[in-house]
Structure 1
């Protein structure tokens, strides 16, 4: 009984030690008369106890504290959590700190909050209005393609419901909706509920950019039916925001790059599929380059152009782009993957990679770099056997030979008798083993050949169907379907290629012309700038695949004929 209690206690302690306790806020920049939401999340359910929030009282007033629990089960995996939602009001302006908050054996990280004075905040004076709007623009002067953070707010001192706002549409600009938040604010001693919406705007050309008015619409809650589930709408409320004008500048003359990348921050990193010191001639290595940019769209990040060298052949794969929205703006990422094949052994040098970008916060040109490096490429592995051995297949040390000679000379008759008996015994055992091995080998080979023959016929039918679909896609000029069908053909013909790409396929086929055509196809489909017309004969690709398939099929048939099924029970 005591042991069971101890075991349960140990399990509980272990479970607590692996739980995760985190904190997050809805906004990191507020005014001194506004509120913010703090969420404390524990990745398990608890039914008693509260986090220790007494240190919050130094900088914030806690207006409310609610606890919620959630539980879900997806594909047999269960997830549960407990969330404490707190509404905080700052006691003063400045860079305030939300301290680390502890619960049992876990603690959250500190969070910084910037609290502006009312006099320094960009707020329109509402006088004594109960419902009004505000607009705020991060920068009034920007460069072309630079991100603009635009914020609109609806402030109301009365209860409203069914909010809506017209869509923000700006000619010659890209618009992204970043966040929708609500909070409380005290103005002139009156409590307001604030509905805040943030946008990211990217002007596509220089000149004057006008952000038009937006219309908020909502309904007052009828106090006579405020507790009714139906028909509790009061009067409709409509408020319009102020329009704004932005001065968009051309690309600065001091920019030296042949592309334009205005950003708040850019970083570039790389990873390799294996240790470079283990690289050998002819064996492909995967190099992955990751570019992260803050305040740009994913399409603005330029591709990295790696060129072939005397020692390396480079095959680019399809790039992957990703774009995420946050309260501060867009965060984009571009991932380039290359298959790199060393051509010669010895020391190989990889040059530095440099990406030029324009720092919009410092207003200057900067460079993100991956430094150059060198590594040693081994020669091709040669698995040859040393034929310089003696006639018995092994080299016998002189000391052992001398000992054997001395023993044989001491008693030749006894040694001869023992040797004959051992030879006879070994011969009988060896004969039995050989017979059993031959019998087992015949049975196994017969089954393998039958299975192999069925597999060859099945794969031949499958490859034929895929080839027919490739030719049909080539006739219709359906490039994307044709690329997918080529990869399917490659997965059947070269099942060991993983990951499978068009360039790896061309390397396995040892066809440089096909590699060039595959590269043209990928550049047309996934390149940063597409040409209006693809200068490429798709039928040549289909014909080459068909010829290669016939060659492989003939080899398989020849092997099948030269290895006929043997009689399982020979006479």
Structure 2
């Protein structure tokens, strides 16, 4: 009860507060370009409204504000204040005016600020605890040339937290590489801890670009407030790196092919199985890889690979990847394809040539693969195209006036031959069975189990290449009256492009050394379309021995 009366007495005896004054101050003036200043606005009462600080954004980089309210009683006299603190960094040198702020009809005084240029060394002398540096490995670039941007933070003391702004300029593609690296360096005889962040920078067009320096905003322990105290206070810190001007040139007019600029480009190939001898109709896998330094994966071009006559290429979708190795970006693009030679003999694959621009020598160079000579062996399981027999005319003896010609002998011989030919025709027609009887005999005498399409559907659904081949061979034997020697021969019988391609892919899966995942859905679809072309697959297929 006594305490309640005491509180009422203090309230009654205290003066009536009123907001009468608004003061503004700046801790540094003049201000170095890149240096941070603290702007403080103080009202002599508790104020609910905040002034509009957006007017500062035109000339300054603004962090904050932070709000503080305080009450003091000195010699029985109580006072209350409301304060706002902001961190300001000028965007350029010159003379600027911090305008007056107004709250509830009370205004502050404007402040004129002078901002002068200063070097990084001057900045480090005035704010030795924290400064930033930006560097680019080259400021003279070609369009699409990759460069490395490095932003390094130097600091002493305990950096509690910080946020580094990302560099961003229209026309420049900038992407962070890897993770931040921590280290230490000596600067002007003093040891600094460092954090280094690396970026990949690629100009998208020619011209002149100005890359603004990144800004770090954070908090550090205040040395003057008890650094090793658990309750030590922190102070806001802010630093900005130097700007960088970049000149970007256009692609040289004399460059052949798709533009590619790099530090090094190479081509290499692998064969699976590794051999210089192929077998007719059997696939082998050829893999060609582009490797480039200082190139992003999306910049690597496609290769144009021409197949010579008698060779088919079944190409897979190329895939690219990149990785950072010791501060250098390494990119690769892999092209894999199945090579099937259809003709026996010598096979020559042409040279592969890729032009690129060497940024060190400033000249055109070529990454090449020499031509590849292979020997294709005859596959005894495949039907071979035999050459047409050569007809050699018999040499006719010259007629002489003394040669005797017996007309009766000629007529007699001709009559005998004609009689024999007519007799054979009569016998063939008499003993020839009907077409239905022949088909019935084939079906009965083949002894082949009935091919159930559901088994092929199941094999394709389960991606079982072995089961799919077994069913197709059974189906072919039932369809044509005899089994094919291989899937390649079956493809030549069916003469359907889509179905033949799926049979080749199935053949690759079965006979290549390194097994890959085979998808049977496409084979099932092609066989289904083939089997219903004329209300049944049997009538849709061409005859085995067409005339």
TM-score, L = length of structure 1: 0.48
Deviation at 1:130, TM superposition (A): 2.5
Q: Does 1:165 align with 2:147?
A: no
Deviation at 1:174, TM superposition (A): 2.0
Gaps of 5+ in 1: 1-121, 385-448, 467-486, 498-504, 519-539, 557-571
Match of 2:519? none
Query: After the TM superposition, which of the residue ranges 488-497 and 169-178 deviates more from structure 2?
Result: 488-497
1:18-38 alpha-carbon deviations (Å, 9 max, x no partner): xxxxxxxxxxxxxxxxxxxxx
The CA distance in 1 between the partners of 2:147 and 2:158, in whole Å, is 32
The CA distance in 1 between the partners of 2:467 and 2:210, in whole Å, is 57
The CA distance in 2 between the partners of 1:375 and 1:512, in whole Å, is 29
Match of 1:460? 457
Match of 2:248? 248
Specify which of 535, 542, 547 is matched with residue 529 of structure 2. Answer: 547
Match of 1:514? 498
Match of 1:299? 298
Change (3 A) 1:380 1:237: same
2:265–2:367 CA contact under 8 A, matched in 1: yes
Deviation at 1:205, TM superposition (A): 0.7
Deviation at 1:200, TM superposition (A): 1.1
Match of 1:203? 203
The CA distance in 2 between the partners of 1:508 and 1:546, in whole Å, is 16
Please state whether the residue corresponding to 2:498 is helix, strand or coil.
helix
1:141-290 aligned at under 5 Å gives the runs 141-179=140-178, 180-221=180-221, 234-255=234-255, 257-290=256-289
Match of 1:323? 322
1:293-333 alpha-carbon deviations (Å, 9 max, x no partner): 11111121111111121131112111111111245232110
2:209–2:247 CA contact under 8 A, matched in 1: yes
Match of 1:127? 125
The CA distance in 1 between the partners of 2:204 and 2:176, in whole Å, is 17
Which one has a bigger Cα radius of gyration? 2
1:178–1:329 CA contact under 8 A, matched in 2: no
Deviation at 1:495, TM superposition (A): 9.2
Deviation at 1:175, TM superposition (A): 1.7
Change (3 A) 1:461 1:286: closer
1:172-202 alpha-carbon deviations (Å, 9 max, x no partner): 2322212411211222222111111111101
Please state whether the residue corresponding to 1:514 is helix, strand or coil.
helix
Deviation at 1:217, TM superposition (A): 2.1
The CA distance in 2 between the partners of 1:136 and 1:491, in whole Å, is 60
1:361-419 alpha-carbon deviations (Å, 9 max, x no partner): 111111111111212110112499xxxxxxxxxxxxxxxxxxxxxxxxxxxxxxxxxxx
Deviation at 1:461, TM superposition (A): 6.2
Deviation at 1:281, TM superposition (A): 0.9
Change (3 A) 1:515 1:194: farther
1:433-452 aligned at under 5 Å gives the runs none
Change (3 A) 1:235 1:327: farther
2:293–2:329 CA contact under 8 A, matched in 1: yes
1:14-163 aligned at under 5 Å gives the runs 126-127=124-125, 129-163=128-162
The CA distance in 2 between the partners of 1:362 and 1:338, in whole Å, is 34
1:303-382 aligned at under 5 Å gives the runs 303-382=302-381
Change (3 A) 1:278 1:258: closer
The CA distance in 2 between the partners of 1:147 and 1:275, in whole Å, is 36
Gaps of 5+ in 2: 1-118, 384-448, 473-486, 503-521, 539-547
- For the aligned residue pairs, the C-alpha RMSD in angstroms reads 4.1
Please state whether the residue corresponding to 1:276 is helix, strand or coil.
coil
Size of the aligned set, in residue pairs, is: 316
1:434-473 alpha-carbon deviations (Å, 9 max, x no partner): xxxxxxxxxxxxxxx89x97xx64653686xx7xxxxxxx
1:151-189 alpha-carbon deviations (Å, 9 max, x no partner): 111111222122321122232232221241121122222
The CA distance in 2 between the partners of 1:347 and 1:496, in whole Å, is 35
Change (3 A) 1:326 1:495: farther
1:198–1:327 CA contact under 8 A, matched in 2: no
2:491–2:500 CA contact under 8 A, matched in 1: no
The CA distance in 2 between the partners of 1:253 and 1:133, in whole Å, is 40
The CA distance in 1 between the partners of 2:132 and 2:120, in whole Å, is 10
2:155–2:193 CA contact under 8 A, matched in 1: yes
2:276–2:373 CA contact under 8 A, matched in 1: no
